[in-house]
Structure 1
């Protein structure tokens, strides 16, 4: 076997190990929160040794930051696809808020832990960065609506911050595991629609202003 092929196989194995570690951490967080994502538990679930985990990550915090970063990257891809789609700005905003909130409610423990569970400064910093990415996606939709005359806010950045604040913090109560809030599917759909309707109505030009 050539040195290049051995090197390529080793690189693939290292990448597989890294992905397995991050996936294991994500699954543990989804089950029991950040507190359950301990190095030994992550290693056991990934089928590797704790020592091997430390070859890829300095500590637990670095693993959690990467899990959060990857989760937000997936959410932003969905939001960006909606922003680039053929819908009207109002429909884009409604669909974007709906998609974000619905996905959070579908994985309540994971969403709560990644967004709200008390954590160290490194994770809090990543949370702040994550909201900036989400805000940018919302700004694209809001800016388009401002141009078409559908939206009538004063400042684009402030409007985007308000939308992001609504679509994230409004789900604290239903996501918080300690409150044991259970939604059936019909109420969940109603709850999500209320949030999306609120965000759209908050930035839309009122009909009396169009006369």
Structure 2
């Protein structure tokens, strides 16, 4: 008779898989994707390396799922904040910048990992999806802003990519991990966010910074 998993065994498998993902995400948040080896993940869960491979096709598959989960959470936070913002395009863009940059500077190690850390091809593919989702969100806001003349007439898809690039690149100095044993000094997050906002609004053809 072939083995048929029971509800209890399925639930146990789901819990083990979720535990491996949680351990991997915690390692990434603390020390980056490079630290999330299969051995380290297994050790965090007091499990064998082989048991990790029984739930995932490989380390790339596991880390791609970790990236998708962490990045997806951040994107949903930004989308929710935009949905709760005022109806005007400048207000919504302001919320995108404040939420994205502010959360990145508060969770620096994870933000560095999601945005800049060298990663495997599978994780890089997820990163491209993540960036495209933000570009689409910003482009929608810019289209509304151009239509209402809040922003200068322009190619909103190209401008959205430029805005996302400006936000991300401006965060590098504040997110970069320390090369030594000492933690990197905390950046002046408020000044960084305000500088990003000022640059983006001016680049889009308005002096308005709310």
TM-score normalised by the chain length of structure 1: 0.86
CA distance in 2, matches of 1:22, 1:193: 35
1:199 aligns with 2:178: no
Give the whole-Å Cα distance in 1 for the aligned partners of 2:59 and 2:170.
29
SS in 2 for 1:177: coil
User: CA separation in 2, counterparts of 1:75 and 1:42?
Assistant: 23
Runs of 4+ in 1 over 3 A off after TM superposition: 178-181, 204-207
Superposition pairs of residues 47-196 of structure 1, within 5 angstroms: 47-87=46-86, 88-178=88-178, 181-183=184-186, 187-196=188-197
Note if contact 2:171-2:192 (Cα within 8 Å) is conserved in structure 1.
no
Deviation per CA, 1:178-204: give whole Å up to 9, x if none: 3664235xx211211211232223214
Aligned partners of 1:170, 1:176: CA distance in 2, in Å? Answer: 11
1:17-56 counterparts in 2 under 5 A? 17-56=16-55
CA distance in 1, matches of 2:144, 2:17: 40
Deviation, 1:86, is 4.3
Counterpart-to-counterpart distance in 2, 1:110 and 1:14? 27
SS in 2 for 1:57: coil
Rounded Cα–Cα distance in structure 2 between residues aligned with 1:153 and 1:40: 53
* Counterpart-to-counterpart distance in 2, 1:137 and 1:83: 9
CA distance in 2, matches of 1:107, 1:78: 14
3-state DSSP of counterpart to 1:183? coil
Deviation at 1:11, TM superposition (A): 2.6
Aligned mates of 1:95, 1:176 — CA distance in 2: 24
Flag structure 2 segments of 5+ consecutive residues without an equivalent.
none
> Would you say the 8 A contact 1:149–1:205 is kept in 2?
no
Work out the CA distance in 2 between the residues paired with 1:206 and 1:189: 19
More helix by share: 1
Paired residues in the alignment total: 202
CA RMSD in angstroms, aligned pairs only: 2.2
Looking at structure 1, the residues matched to 8 and 203 of structure 2 have their Cα atoms a distance apart, in angstroms, of 54
